[in-house]
Every structure is written in structure tokens, then in C-alpha cells.
Chain A
């Protein structure tokens, strides 16, 4: 069974203080690893898909990287508007294409 573990559960940063969010996963065969951002009471918003170890993707202050066991979401010089819950999910190579999610990391950026 696919499993995703995210750490830490919560992270508080000062504006401009860079950090990384960790996602560890086990999956029988990786079709894709996904990062989503979720604001309170809203639906998850798609950020990135990573397909193979060594791949990196960037969007504004966010950069996602992938190894065979982990993914990192690096946040450079965060702003208060980056405060949200960041969700990691894996999609395995099965007949279905469901995502298995971690519990998320709640990021709070103080001005």
C-alpha cells in the first residue's frame, strides 16, 4: 500500500527565512509525485508534478525536488501570503490513478 509521510507537521517562519518541507514516500511504482497548496476551507490547489528522481521544478518562491524516497519543497524568502497547508501525494502505477496524500504541513509566515 502506498504511504506518504510529511514533516514537520507545522512550521513557523519569519518573512524572508528560507526553509524546506519534507515528504517521504513508499510506492510500488511511482507514476508521479504531486505537491498541492491548500488554504483553510478551500480545495487543494495544484503546484507541481515530479516524475523521476533528480527532477526539479520551480514556481516563484517554491522549488520542488525528488529522490527515490523523498521529495522536498524548498521555500525561498517566504512571504506571509505563502502561509497555507502544503500537501504531498503519490500516484502509483496501478489500474487506477488515485492519489495517496500525506497529512500536510501547515506553514505560517510571520511578517
Chain B
């Protein structure tokens, strides 16, 4: 158990709908990351938040948005869903000692399976 909690585990929804995925990071971790994993693309970085502020954006569509709340949990909002959005969405967290020279280990949750029909 990595300590990163994601809900829901599975979600089936129709095209055009909107869903919210929730993530609770490991205790003490300030950074939250969202990744998308599909069969043909592998793990793709979407967005990172650090202590409530957006730090980095990856290949995140305009229909997707995220936020990190004062208690450090995060939500990923996916709207106007299309069939191609079906994927595993992972949340990950790290302590992220910004400015440090050593890498910050990033721990992943078990993911939210999204199926768009």
C-alpha cells in the first residue's frame, strides 16, 4: 500500500458527461501529480500541484482541469467526455523538497478506471 488513495476505483459514464476523480496524497506529501495511462500511450503526465499551486502542466486537454485543496487532497475534473478518454487515471504524490539536488520518489495510487461509452 503506497498510502495514496484514489476514488472511485471504477467509473462508467456516457460521452459528453463530466466526472470528478479524487485523490488523497500520502501523509506529509505536498506534491500531487496526475497521470493518464492508456494501452497505446503508456503513462502520460497531465499536471502537478505543489502545496495548492499548479507547478507543471503536461499533455492535459482543455476539457480537463485539476485543483489541490488546502488539506492537500486533489481532484481531476474531466468534462465533455469522449470515447478516447477511456483510460486509467493515476494520482501520485511526493514530499518534493523543492530545490533539492536528489530526486523525489513519487508514489502512485491504484488508479481510477474510466470507461466512456
Name A residues whose Cβ lies closer than 8 Å to a Cβ of B.
31-34, 36, 41-46, 49, 51, 87, 89, 91, 93-104
Q: CB distance A34 to B106 under 8 Å? A: yes
Q: CB distance B101 to A31 under 8 Å? A: yes
Q: Which residues of B contact A100 (CB under 8 A)?
A: 45
Name B residues whose Cβ lies closer than 8 Å to a Cβ of A.
2, 4, 31, 33, 42-43, 45, 48, 55-56, 58, 88, 90, 94, 96, 98, 101-111, 113
Q: Which residues of B contact A49 (CB under 8 A)?
A: 103, 105
23 A-B residue pairs with Cβ-Cβ distance under 8 Å, sorted by A, are A31-B101, A31-B104, A32-B105, A34-B106, A42-B111, A43-B108, A43-B110, A46-B105, A46-B107, A49-B105, A51-B102, A87-B43, A91-B103, A91-B106, A93-B101, A96-B48, A96-B55, A96-B56, A97-B103, A99-B45, A99-B106, A100-B45, A104-B42
Q: CB distance A34 to B45 under 8 Å? A: no
* Residue of B whose beta carbon sits closest to that of A51: B102
Tell me the smallest distance from the CB of B59 to a CB of chain A, in Å.
Answer: 11
Tell me the smallest distance from the CB of A64 to a CB of chain B, in Å.
Answer: 13
Q: CB distance A32 to B109 under 8 Å? A: no
Q: Which residues of B contact A101 (CB under 8 A)?
A: 42-43
Partner of A95, one of B2, B55, B107, B113: B55
Partner of A98, one of B48, B110, B113: B48
Partner of B94, one of A33, A41, A94, A97: A97
Q: Which residues of A contact B96 (CB under 8 A)?
A: 97
Q: Which residues of B contact A97 (CB under 8 A)?
A: 31, 48, 94, 96, 98, 103-104, 106
* Bound-state Cα–Cα, A97 to B101, Å: 11
